[in-house]
A and B are shown apart, each in its own frame.
Chain A
Amino acid sequence: MRAVLTILHLTLHEAARRRILTATLIGAAAFLVLFGVGFHFMARHVHSEVGLSVLRQRLLLNFLTLAGLYATHFLTIMTAVLLPVDTLSGEIATGVVQTVASKPVHRSSIVLGKWLAFSIVAVSYFALVASGVLVVARVIGHFTPPGLAQGLPLMALEAVVFVSLSIAGGARLATVTNGIMAFGLYGIAFIGSWVEQVGALAGNLAAENVGTVASLIMPTEALWQRAAYHMQPTVMRDLHLTPFSPASLPTVATVWWAAAYALIALFLGVQGFRRRAL
């Protein structure tokens, strides 16, 4: 446990010093500024238009807030994959890991320490950007979407799933291969989820099944769909008014599968690293 904390501490220290985190934060800040400007004009329009019912006002602002959160979801995935993508493979390639792994520590402690550190960084990043989106909505549009307590944890879980995947891949794969694999899985989840939604709207069972299989291969997009479902009012869900109103709601089992998926990835990462010649 002590070794895990030592590695955790060092990894946080390292993450804070790396340019990639600064770059990601600058990207997030730019996104929030753009979102704020867009939200400002949209809110002014919504609030000034004569004859627009309060319900329609709220739906428009909810849609826009969900769009902001969808961008947050994407930025978080990028961060969760790219920050730890070379943490194991890079240290194996340069030999940095040799002096660490030859100490009286379990190899699993090295993986767990890094996993904890990057999970903390990725979830913190998500919390920061999501807070930014919600603050913009609150301050500029006087609007807060419903169901945040149900929705946001699911998005945080997405970050942990991608961190686990990226670290596990790094135990066996070279950095670039690992990054390609993680984004490939993201692509599968993305397209699978949309095929499922369109299939559900059209009543096509085969298309829906494609989505289900994709969710098994990579459950993160399903997490987003479920999170978005929570963070909108019933009327918006029922009428499928926006692309964020799922026609086929991912089940609670999908959430459990995502959590298990992260743990399995972490376990495979630990096993892969334990057997790896360093």
Chain B
Amino acid sequence: MTAPVIETRRLRKRFGDKLAVADLSVAVQPGEVFGFLGPNGAGKTTSLKMLLGLIAPTSGGGTLLGRPIGDRAARARVGFLPEHFRFQDWLTGRELLRFHGRLYGLSGHALDEKADALLRRVDLVDAADRAIKGYSKGMTQRVGLAQALLNDPLVVFLDEPTSGLDPLGRLLVRDVIHELKARGTSVFLNSHLLGEVEATCDRVVFVKQGRVVHELALGTEPSGLEVELRVDGARPEVLAAHGTLLASENGHARLRVEREGALPELAAALVHSGARLYSMTPHKRSLEATFLEVMGEDQRPG
């Protein structure tokens, strides 16, 4: 197994009395799209800023691309789009990319070509030579995304990249994340938009009050499927043989099965046992349901 691109060990940040991040220990693998999920104020942005060297941790440590976090050289292969991206808005889109490119050490023809390619990628060619202060929120976010990709990064940090974007803008961000993944780039995605995370991430951790409280691989079906059955004369032992029986009364049953492949077998077994099967509806367990369960009712506003 290759070394993780991001690894933290008991990373902790305290602001006065407030513990913003408590003992964060995570590892992100090369090429992985990693979702960092939690409600507002859970310490997501603070964690990300520590990884980028913008904030010094109170204790603990970690590595970014094999170097201690805060190390300048590692940041040469890192891209970052902050939340509420703000910058020198009197520059044009093209000037902004050139400026940030030079900070990455790019120059001359190579920089111009890279800037042009990225402007095309984020669909800003027509607006490239207009001042950014005249851009819409979506355009601003897109030029911000472009500046995070100037250096062909190995890791990209995106902090709420789609907040405030229209559906087309979200789709573009999602496509870019898929392209990055295809290229082998790791993506560290801070978000509280569950649909976004579900559509893009390989793995998510749930953060609550500065702590990782749950981890979930999204490619698989870790908690299985829930199946709703309308069936007469089903014997409990037949149902139990194919999954965990959650509820059963008056011809309705709820069952949790491990995998989709169990469904035809269950149907066959029920029919074979003499039961009359009217309907069988599998539900994927949504990330939202997991999120609410993990975070608990106390995280709900008001």
Contact = CB atoms under 8 A, between A and B. Distances in A.
Contacts of B3: none
B86 A6 contact: no
User: Could you tell me the dominant secondary structure of chain A's interface residues?
Assistant: helix
Interface of B: 49, 52-56, 72-76, 78, 80-82, 84-88, 90, 99-100, 102-105, 144, 147
Contacts of B103: 3, 6, 100, 103-105
Contacts of B144: 99
A134 to B, nearest CB: 34
B147 to A, nearest CB: 6
Interface stretch (A37-45, A90-98, A159-167, A212-220): A90-98
B228 to A, nearest CB: 48
B73 A99 contact: no
Interface centre among A95, A96, A103 (most CB of B within 10 A): A103
Given A98-B80, A102-B52, A102-B80, A10 B88 contact: yes
Contacts of A278: 49, 54-55
A99 B55 contact: no
A138 interface: no
Interface of A: 2-3, 6, 10, 14, 17, 94-96, 98-106, 275, 277-278
A101 B72 contact: no
B163 to A, nearest CB: 14
Nearest to B144: A99
Instruction: Please give me the 5 A-B residue pairs with the lowest Cβ-Cβ distance, nearest first.
Output: A103-B103, A104-B76, A278-B54, A104-B75, A6-B102
Contact of B86 (A17, A96, A277): A96
Contacts of B56: 275, 277
Contacts of A275: 56
A101 B103 CA distance: 9
Contacts of A98: 49, 54, 80, 82
Contact of B53 (A6, A94, A102): A102
B84 A105 contact: no
Nearest to B87: A96
A13 B85 CA distance: 21
Contact of B100 (A14, A95, A99, A277): A99
A277 B147 contact: no
Contacts of B102: 2, 6
22 contacts: A2-B102, A3-B103, A6-B99, A6-B103, A17-B90, A95-B86, A96-B88, A98-B49, A98-B54, A99-B81, A99-B85, A99-B87, A99-B144, A100-B100, A102-B54, A102-B75, A103-B104, A104-B104, A105-B72, A277-B54, A277-B56, A278-B49
A106 B70 CA distance: 11
A277 B49 CA distance: 9
A277 to B, nearest CB: 5
